[in-house]
Structure 1
């Protein structure tokens, strides 16, 4: 059994389960296309598009979103994200406009849509239903930019949210199994890395999908090794970082090659 788990971890790294996150600053596909092409050269597992960097969100269109999906999907998975300012996002908009954009995301059919666990419950309910209809998977995110909470508090955070989905939204087990949790902390000391790594191991052993590591210089260790502990994938950058401690995708792959002696 232990040997099988080891093989799983090894295979995860060999596949380079890395998501490259890129900020989208305008809605001109001609300008975005070469950036996507550069990212695809690194052969990532997924590409995350951070739309909260757009200077004028009103210019966002379905055609633009569909063009992005078409340009990436044959080669990598697609994640659409509109990060809320409360969790590191760059764009302040009202809940009505936020829901409208999330709906556009889902209808353009990326592989995943990422939004916060603290999103209004009515929006969560509608987005889950819409995502199910369009076969789009959901990543529920939690970011703590100040510290790393305890392992026990992290488990409670996820359990309480799961209970809310089951009791208040009446979600069945099949829907819950498809949800990915993204639980991100800030490392204030090196030992903080143990919390996300323990969480990844716990969730993996419980057949639940999770992405978890620490941000910041002291969190680089868990950002790299979280896949070894069972994280669904990890995040890297191409040039411009979208989070503290993010590593260039080429450097991250080089590290994995060195770990595996696979050059």
Structure 2
């Protein structure tokens, strides 16, 4: 269960063709990762919804032993491709309706434009929502980050995700303190991470700070500072705090 004990490890697969994706999925299925994220924005035929859904079916079968997270990361938040708001909405809804995906990443900034009705349609499907916010340039002030998590909760997120780019050590420490800061008045499970080399400590300290999952690289990183999965898993094991 996400949110209990050691943070779950998520690895991205980012192939631009179905053949590459399925090869990556096979490797991911044999890894120690708990969650596999399909970064659809890397897929060269993402404009064909039929192809996307057919590929999703193949991935679900290949990753039967893993939690499957589907993400289209927009260009504005560090993704590979542009997408219109209407196409983003349709893609998310059609993916959710398949029942083949466990978790769906929806960006807070897109949800704020698309409204509560969009979230309600998604919540009518079996999928759980990871509502995310990314800043690849800086780490916003604490009040801004806390506000974002509160809005995620109000909009119906099942898990909140905050990723920022630290400019100094203090930024990293602020991100690490975020789950504790919001826990008193907001019980939304959150995953927080500071990117880049400076923020690597946030990718291993989840159990201590209350961050429910962390990203590791399988073949290549989807964000700066990700640690290879085979290196990350034993570190998390060493840092695990047994229940008394």
TM-score range with shorter-chain normalisation? 0.7 to 0.9
2:173 corresponds in structure 1 to: 194
1:5 corresponds in structure 2 to: none
Q: Alpha-carbon deviation of 1:256? A: 2.2
1:43 corresponds in structure 2 to: 32
Counterpart CA distance in 2 for 1:235 and 1:192 is 19
Equivalent residue for 2:216, pick from 236, 240, 245: 236
Give the conservation status (yes or no) of the 8 Å contact 2:195–2:223. yes
2:65 corresponds in structure 1 to: 75
2:217 is aligned with 1:227 = no
Give the conservation status (yes or no) of the 8 Å contact 2:15–2:24. no
Q: Tell me the secondary structure at the aligned position of residue 47 of structure 2.
A: helix
2:88 is aligned with 1:95 = no
Counterpart CA distance in 1 for 2:8 and 2:200 is 16
Root-mean-square deviation (Å): 2.5
Counterpart CA distance in 2 for 1:94 and 1:261 is 44
Q: Alpha-carbon deviation of 1:157? A: 2.8
Distance 1:214 1:34, change over 3 A: same
Q: Alpha-carbon deviation of 1:130? A: 2.5
Distance 1:61 1:161, change over 3 A: closer
Q: Tell me the secondary structure at the aligned position of residue 196 of structure 1.
A: helix
Give the conservation status (yes or no) of the 8 Å contact 2:32–2:229. no
Q: Tell me the secondary structure at the aligned position of residue 52 of structure 1.
A: helix
* TM-score between both structures, scaled by the size of structure 2: 0.87
Counterpart CA distance in 1 for 2:31 and 2:183 is 27
Q: Alpha-carbon deviation of 1:161? A: 5.2
Distance 1:143 1:189, change over 3 A: same
Equivalent residue for 1:57, pick from 39, 46, 54: 46
1:157 corresponds in structure 2 to: 148
Counterpart CA distance in 2 for 1:55 and 1:157 is 31
Give the conservation status (yes or no) of the 8 Å contact 1:182–1:212. yes
Matches within 5 A, 1:118-157: 118-119=109-110, 121=112, 123-157=114-148
Q: Alpha-carbon deviation of 1:85? A: 0.6
Give the conservation status (yes or no) of the 8 Å contact 2:10–2:35. yes
1:168 corresponds in structure 2 to: none
Q: Which has the higher helix share?
A: 1
Distance 1:243 1:161, change over 3 A: same
Q: Tell me the secondary structure at the aligned position of residue 91 of structure 1.
A: coil
1:181 corresponds in structure 2 to: 160
Q: How many residues align?
A: 237
Give the conservation status (yes or no) of the 8 Å contact 1:69–1:108. no
Q: Pick which of 48-57 and 60-69 moved more.
A: 60-69
Distance 1:65 1:111, change over 3 A: same
Q: Tell me the secondary structure at the aligned position of residue 157 of structure 1.
A: helix
Q: Pick which of 55-64 and 85-94 moved more.
A: 55-64
